[in-house]
A and B are shown apart, each in its own frame.
Chain A
Amino acid sequence: MSANVLFDAPGPKARVRNIIYSVIGTAALLGGILWVVLRLSDQGEFDAELWDIFNYTGIQQNILDALIATLKVFALAGVFSLVFAVVLCVARLSVHKPVRWVAVAFIDLFRSIPLLITIFALWVGLFGSMTPFWALVIGLTIYNGCVQAEVLRAGINAVPKGQMEAAYALGLRKTQVMASVLFPQAIRSMLPTIISQLVVTLKDTSLGFMVLYPELLHSARLIANNTPVNGVYPFVQTVTVFGAIYIGLCLLLSSLATWLEKRGRRTKTGIAVAAAAEPAETPGVLDPSAPLGPSTEAETTAALPGVSPSDEVDKKD
Chain B
Amino acid sequence: MDVLLDNLSLFREGFFGTLKLTGASAIVAVVVGVIIAGFRVSPVPPLRIFGTLWVTLLRNTPLTLLFLVAFFIVPKVFFPDLDSFLLATLACGFYTSAFVAEAVRSGINTVPLGQAEAARAIGFTFTQTMRLIVLPQATRTVVPPLSSIFIALTKNTAIAGAFDNVELFNVSKTLSNDGYDIAMIFLWITLAYLIITYAINGLFRLMEHRLEVAR
Contact = CB atoms under 8 A, between A and B. Distances in A.
B64 A29 contact: no
Given A121-B182, A217-B65, A235 B72 contact: yes
B76 A43 contact: yes
Contacts of B48: 309
Contacts of B157: 114
A6 interface: yes
B77 A36 contact: yes
A246 B62 contact: yes
Given A112-B151, A113-B190, A290-B144, A309 B52 contact: yes
A284 to B, nearest CB: 7
Contacts of B152: 281
A304 interface: yes
Contacts of B73: 40, 235-236, 239
A302 B152 CA distance: 28
A88 to B, nearest CB: 19
- Interface centre among B45, B69, B157, by most chain A C-beta atoms within 10 angstroms, is B45
A4 B78 CA distance: 40
B117 A302 contact: no
B31 to A, nearest CB: 18
A284 B151 CA distance: 12
Interface residues of A, number: 68
B44 A305 contact: no
Contacts of B62: 203-206, 217, 246, 250
Contacts of B60: 199, 203, 247, 250-251, 254
B201 A254 contact: no
Contact of B186 (A14, A126, A203): A126
Given A22-B46, A124-B176, A114 B41 contact: no
Contacts of A209: 64, 162
A303 B148 contact: no
Interface in B33-79: 40-41, 43-48, 50-52, 56-57, 59-65, 68-69, 72-73, 76-78
A315 B169 CA distance: 53
Given A217-B62, A239-B65, A304-B113, A5 B120 contact: yes
B145 interface: yes
A40 B76 contact: yes
Contacts of A303: 109-110
A47 B62 CA distance: 27
B183 interface: yes
Contacts, number: 194
A52 interface: no
Nearest to B77: A39
B159 interface: yes
A46 to B, nearest CB: 12
A89 B157 CA distance: 29
B156 interface: yes
B111 A304 contact: yes
B176 to A, nearest CB: 5
Interface residues of B, number: 75
Given A112-B151, A117-B168, A250-B60, A243 B69 contact: yes
Contacts of A313: 43, 45
A282 to B, nearest CB: 5
Contacts of A29: 46, 50
Nearest to B111: A304
Interface string A107-147: 00100111111001100111000000000000000000000
A5 B51 contact: no
Given A114-B169, A309-B40, A313-B45, A281 B148 contact: yes
A317 interface: no
Interface in B78-131: 78, 99, 102, 105-106, 108-111, 113, 116-117, 120, 125-126, 129-130
B198 interface: yes
A235 B77 CA distance: 13
9 contacts: A117-B190, A121-B172, A121-B183, A207-B159, A220-B68, A239-B65, A246-B62, A281-B155, A282-B148
- Interchain residue pairs A-B with the least CB separation, the first 5: A114-B158, A206-B62, A250-B60, A114-B155, A206-B64
Interface of B: 40-41, 43-48, 50-52, 56-57, 59-65, 68-69, 72-73, 76-78, 99, 102, 105-106, 108-111, 113, 116-117, 120, 125-126, 129-130, 134, 144-145, 147-149, 151-152, 154-159, 161-162, 168-169, 172-173, 176, 182-183, 185-186, 189-190, 193-194, 197-198, 201
Interface of A: 4-8, 10, 14, 18, 21-22, 25-26, 29, 36, 39-40, 43, 45, 109, 112-117, 120-121, 124-126, 199, 203-207, 209-210, 217, 220-221, 224, 235-236, 239, 242-243, 246-247, 250-251, 254, 277-278, 280-284, 290, 299, 302-305, 307, 309, 313
